[in-house]
């Protein structure tokens, strides 16, 4: 039996619609199209994230592979090795005092970051909130733009005159004051975010500038202090130029200078250098992971006026 023979029904071919318009597309087809577009966007997002992660993780993976290669295999340029070896690991610690050099870098970087915050926090408050010596902030930022090599000779003679060459206090003072412009630039946004009414209320109650800063503004600056301190710590930890000239003694030598010791006149111990580099970046990665929320949250909060 066909549709034409059914009583009271019109043939399917003869059905017509008012206005001559076709019926709307079924909701099922619309939903399927939306799901298809969603899956496409998700696939593109995953691919983009994969490329972004690979851009940063591939050098680390290659560095790890170098630690298990002999010198001849490194020169071949292959990513994987046929005969992995642990010789580079024990030789890297045997050739130089790698653990001691990492400790020197961490100690100097931490103390210098603390010194930077001690100098930069009240200076930023005075310039931004009290409007005192605004040219100092601009002068500090402009001095940081100059190439560091310009300051090598003056700093060398100054540190030698002060007796601070090849000493931990000398490196702490050098990095501590060198990173003040960076800390000022980071902390300025945090100081501007603090409502001025809080300071004005404290001044009306008889509190001075120092007491207002210590009791009211400083606790509110903790996220900015943490973020700025971490960045200054990383900058001091990774610095090489000044460390190679002012910290040549083994009792002060840091990681960046120690890594350069694996380069000889005729060849470079790439495997051992890779081990030293991997060991050296591990503390910074751990610190960044532990303080990731404070670092990102602090920098984001400081960027809002």
Backbone angles phi, psi at 263, to 5 degrees: -100, 115
Which residues lie closer than 8 Å to 299 by C-beta, 6 or more apart? 186, 227
Tokens representing 1 are 């039996």
Asked if residue 4 has pLDDT above 50, the reply is: no
Asked if residue 6 has pLDDT above 70, the reply is: no
Asked if residue 36 has pLDDT above 90, the reply is: no
Lowest mean pLDDT among 38-42, 260-264, 275-279: 260-264
Q: Provide the pLDDT for residue 149.
A: 85
The b-or-e profile of 42-57 (16+ CB within 10 A means b, else e) is: eeeeeeeeeeeeeeee
User: What is the tens place of the pLDDT at every residue in 170-208?
Assistant: 999 999 999 998 898 888 888 888 888 888 888 888 888
Asked if residue 19 has pLDDT above 60, the reply is: no
Can you tell me the distance from the alpha carbon of 11 to that of 188, in angstroms, rounded to the nearest whole number? 79
User: CA triplet 237, 189, 105: central angle to 5 degrees?
Assistant: 5
The b-or-e profile of 125-151 (16+ CB within 10 A means b, else e) is: bbbbbeeeeeeebeebeeeeeeeeeeb
Is residue 272 within 8 Å of residue 88, measured between CB atoms?
Answer: yes
User: What is the tens place of the pLDDT at every residue in 101-157?
Assistant: 999 999 999 999 999 999 999 999 988 888 776 677 777 777 777 788 888 888 999
87-302 architecture in CATH?
Orthogonal Bundle (1.10)
Asked if residue 29 has pLDDT above 70, the reply is: no
Q: Provide the pLDDT for residue 25.
A: 52
Backbone angles phi, psi at 268, to 5 degrees: -125, 130
Helices (H), the chain: 27-66, 71-76, 87-95, 98-128, 134-145, 152-162, 168-178, 180-193, 196-204, 209-212, 218-220, 222-238, 241-246, 255-260, 270-290, 292-302
CA distances from 56 to 45, 62, 153, 231, 276 (A): 17, 11, 36, 19, 19
* Sign, Cα dihedral of 77, 82, 87, 90: positive
Can you tell me the distance from the alpha carbon of 255 to that of 242, in angstroms, rounded to the nearest whole number? 13
Percent of the chain with pLDDT over 70: 83
Asked if residue 83 has pLDDT above 70, the reply is: yes
3-state secondary structure 62-114: HHHHHCCCCHHHHHHCCCCCCCCCCHHHHHHHHHCCHHHHHHHHHHHHHHHHH
Can you tell me the distance from the alpha carbon of 212 to that of 92, in angstroms, rounded to the nearest whole number? 52
Can you tell me the distance from the alpha carbon of 288 to that of 52, in angstroms, rounded to the nearest whole number? 19
| Beta partners for residue 268, in sequence order | 263
Asked if residue 240 has pLDDT above 50, the reply is: yes
């Amino acid at each position: 039996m066909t549709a034409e023979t059914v009583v009271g029904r019109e043939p399917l071919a003869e059905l017509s619609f008012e206005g001559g318009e076709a019926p709307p597309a079924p909701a099922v087809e619309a939903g399927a199209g939306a799901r298809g577009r969603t899956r496409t966007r998700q696939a593109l997002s995953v691919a983009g994230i994969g490329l972004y992660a690979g851009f940063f993780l591939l050098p680390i993976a290659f560095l790890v592979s170098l630690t298990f290669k002999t010198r001849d295999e490194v020169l071949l340029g292959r990513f994987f090795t046929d005969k992995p070896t642990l010789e580079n690991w024990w030789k890297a610690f045997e050739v130089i005092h790698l653990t001691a050099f990492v400790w020197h870098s961490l100690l100097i970087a931490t103390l210098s970051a603390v010194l930077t915050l001690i100098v930069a926090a009240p200076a930023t408050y005075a310039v931004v909130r009290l409007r005192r010596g605004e040219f100092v902030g601009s002068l500090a930022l402009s001095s940081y733009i100059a190439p560091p090599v310009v300051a090598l000779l003056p700093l060398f003679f100054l540190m030698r005159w002060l007796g601070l060459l090849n000493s931990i206090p000398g490196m702490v003072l050098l990095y501590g004051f060198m990173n003040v412009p960076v800390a000022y630039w980071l902390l300025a946004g945090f100081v501007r975010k603090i409502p001025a009414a809080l300071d004005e209320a404290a001044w009306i109650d008889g509190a001075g500038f120092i007491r207002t800063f210590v009791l009211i503004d400083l606790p509110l600056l903790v996220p900015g202090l943490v973020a700025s301190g971490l960045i200054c710590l990383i900058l001091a930890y990774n610095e090489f130029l000044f460390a190679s000239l002012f910290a040549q003694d083994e009792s002060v030598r840091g990681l960046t200078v120690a890594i350069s010791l694996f380069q000889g006149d005729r060849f470079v111990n790439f495997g051992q250098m890779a081990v030293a580099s991997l060991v050296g970046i591990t503390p910074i990665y751990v610190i960044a992971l532990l303080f990731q929320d404070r670092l990102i949250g602090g920098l984001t909060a400081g960027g809002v006026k």
